[in-house]
Structure 1
């Protein structure tokens, strides 16, 4: 039986991958409930499984309301537009907001981040990945398709949290992932378990 352990995202940028239904969203948001810092979960898919302790917000909320929630350390379930162009614009505005209010440590979780790699928002995400930590912004990139995550974003992540996913051997191996060990870890862990990889060592399996 895998050891129960909340995901420790620490003070680095992280990447969470896993197929639909693997537990990646539930495990991520549940683990972040335990941190004292504010969290903004950019809910690309409008996932309804987010805990009730997360405050629902959207573009209809003012920046004053958003700032108050962040200052108070609240966990925010941000529901963007379903329109792709508008959704990217909202994410860009959120990133501007976080940089303008630098000094407040916050976790920015972007669900299905691969969807933004071909849009103008990509450059703002890269700004978060390269300079965000000096402003207190910790990016958590989530995706069910790790092969579609931009290479530059991947290389800025220092921790990888891996729920059950198709192990695209050549793709993951080029980042140094121990694919064979991961396969064994998934077999031992079973449903909803995850592995952690810090670019040096593989840990797990664990279950949130």
Structure 2
């Protein structure tokens, strides 16, 4: 599975063993301007997972073989962040409620309200784009951080902790001028112009990693 630009997040994967319903969903979703891939069961979707585009999944909750919930669990186990919308029969509502608690976007009872489904798809794809953007930013920050030398990292840690240059110099047993040199290198490598920006980036990184 590749991670490309945001235009990729217009893909919807429909998983349903009911041929007629699956075809009608494809027709509806394609008509709304999305790219659609359709699968008759969870197993065929998982088989294609390594080559398909990122997107959201619209899945029946009850299917022969793996159920929609089992498919959802399989995606989470593989760390695949596809947001999922479940389609359910009336008797499956308690099961689908559990899926919501586990992180599904929504469950919609059949027959599905077309406008509601399309709204949930748009919401799901927006969430996917936000999550992927967050992950990319986190990876970029970690990559920049990894480029710091051990001494630069020591200075970085103290700068984001609010140390003044003199305090850093005293603690590391180096001159204030040397601290200024290392500090400038840190700012350049981290892509920041101001200390406040560096501190904010670090705080955000810590929060998203927590």
Q: TM-score, normalised by structure 2?
A: 0.34
Structure with the largest fraction of strand: 1
The answer to which structure has the higher helix fraction is 2
**Which is higher, the Rg of structure 1 or of structure 2?**
2
* Higher RCO (CA 8 Å, separation ≥ 6 residues): 1
TM-score, reference length from structure 1: 0.34
